[in-house]
Structure 1
Amino acid sequence: MRVAVVDPGSGNLASVLRALDRASAMAEVPVRAATTRDPAEVAQADRIILPGQGAFAACMRGLQALPGMVETLESRVRAQGVPLLGICVGMQILAERGLEHGVTPGLGWIRGE
């Protein structure tokens, strides 16, 4: 199973990779996980993880700064149904907007703020 750990520029990526390695070993399920800022790698993944740390606005800016990433995530997750795990702010940006340090539009996949 290929897992893409999206790097929006904020998040504890090393901890996510260690957790995946450990869970893979415990479940005896082979997992190839890698961090990426490349939408083409996300397009090939069987599962996607979107970690985030810090402020909502900074995480959204980091994600939007990756050309084609938002569109690829929308295609893979929303249109094709590829499972996505949002961690911390990575989960929060799935909402319509964040209110931390002002109003910041999110991905809008989940109603709420």
Structure 2
Amino acid sequence: MAQSKTARASVRAGQASGGALSVLGEYKYLIPLNGGKNVYVRNLLNGKTTRLRTDSDKFVDEVKSLAEGGHGTKIKAELEGLQVAFPDHGWDVTTKRLVDAGVFGEA
């Protein structure tokens, strides 16, 4: 299967920064795509980047595994930042869905 230009650029960016996407020295777990409908999730626990639909159970499971690994606060802050930067992309709905699923230890 051919890899998209965006995916190749993401991989190159990850390799250039020692395996994790870094912006101003901070790792980014979420790379938004398609107006918030999809996202690359950078899993620093297993070194994999997965493209997922933000309304999928797989997305919830992936973020939950990162939150259980101690990265929940950072991911929640990233989601809040995405909502501020892209208010019409539905990041507030995505965040609510994760919170309602107990991903961040809340229910």
TM-score (structure 2 length as normaliser): 0.40
Tell which has more relative contact order, 1 or 2 (C-alpha 8 A, sep 6+): 1
TM-score, length-scaled by structure 1? 0.38
**Which structure's residues are more often helix, by fraction?**
2
